[in-house]
């Protein structure tokens, strides 16, 4: 049975997360108290409900307890903390919440939120990386903190196999494809040797991809 995700708060961030999860094949329960926001997303997700997320009974009635993971994307700090507390009391173990500041993030972690996301900060990292490196051809965001990086191999990367570089062990990133001239190598083997100018498609967390970039451009 596929995991079910809940997304509470349908601003730009919450809407993007909900639609992307649904597009990846996971059923999503989208919740917001704004009817217009629910109307705009109801055809793009499995379930959508108009709910005051600070009301425990209303949240339970909407089916939030059926979700394996819940993303709290509520903009208001007080509501964000209250909703996270309610989810914690419901016994939902995998709570991910958006935070607008370091203090907000610290409070969320204190009350049991498993993962705190800073969308603006993460986007800033992506943009800064792209505009300061001629080797980064593109960033493709597939979740709030996971990207696919389209990267032109530097001289420092060339001449060694993927096994020798051990990118997964060293940085937590995986090479899922290589474009070499007109050829595209999908799921390259560990013995594939990188050539200077190869176009590498790497998947990993935003911060891990930054560490990779620093190593091979430093």
Beta strands 136-143; 199-205: pairing state: unpaired
User: What domains appear along the chain, each with residue ranges and CATH number?
Assistant: 5-119 (3.40.50.720), 128-217 (3.30.70.1450)
132: pLDDT strictly greater than 60: no
What per-residue confidence (pLDDT) applies to 128? 58
What would the mean pLDDT of 136-154 be, rounded to a whole number? 77
What per-residue confidence (pLDDT) applies to 189? 93
Average of per-residue pLDDT values in the chain = 88
Give the pLDDT band of residue 144 (cuts 50, 70, 90). Answer: low
Q: What one-character DSSP code corresponds to residue 193? A: B
Q: What percent of the chain has pLDDT over 90?
A: 54
120-140: burial string, b at 16+ Cβ within 10 Å, e else: eebeebbeebeeeeebbeebe
User: 135 vs 181, which has greater pLDDT?
Assistant: 181
What per-residue confidence (pLDDT) applies to 13? 86
191-194, long-range: CB within 8 Å, 24+ apart, which pairs?
191/161, 191/162, 191/163, 192/161, 192/162, 193/159, 193/160, 193/161, 194/153, 194/157, 194/158, 194/159, 194/160, 194/161, 194/162, 194/165
pLDDT tens-digit map of 17-61: 898 888 878 899 999 999 999 999 999 999 999 999 999 999 999
179: pLDDT strictly greater than 60: yes
What per-residue confidence (pLDDT) applies to 207? 83
């Amino acid at each position: 049975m596929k995991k079910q995700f809940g997304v509470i708060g349908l601003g730009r961030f919450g809407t993007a997360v909900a639609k992307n999860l649904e597009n990846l094949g996971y059923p999503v329960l989208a919740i917001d108290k704004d009817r217009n926001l629910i109307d705009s997303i109801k055809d793009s997700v499995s379930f959508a409900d108009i709910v005051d997320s600070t009301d425990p009974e209303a949240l339970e009635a909407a089916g939030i307890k059926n979700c394996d993971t819940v993303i709290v994307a509520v903009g208001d700090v007080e509501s964000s903390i209250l909703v996270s507390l309610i989810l914690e009391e419901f016994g939902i173990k995998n709570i991910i919440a958006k935070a607008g500041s370091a203090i907000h993030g610290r409070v969320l972690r204190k009350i049991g939120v498993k993962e705190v996301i800073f969308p603006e900060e993460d986007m800033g990292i992506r943009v800064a990386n792209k505009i300061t490196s001629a080797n980064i051809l593109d960033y493709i965001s597939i979740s709030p903190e996971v990207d696919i990086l389209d990267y032109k191999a530097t001289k420092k990367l060339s001449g060694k196999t993927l096994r020798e570089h051990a990118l997964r062990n060293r940085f937590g990133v995986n090479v899922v494809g290589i474009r070499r001239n007109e050829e595209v190598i999908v799921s390259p083997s560990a013995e594939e040797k990188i050539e200077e100018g190869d176009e590498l498609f790497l998947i990993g967390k935003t911060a891990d991809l930054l560490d990779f970039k620093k190593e091979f451009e430093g």
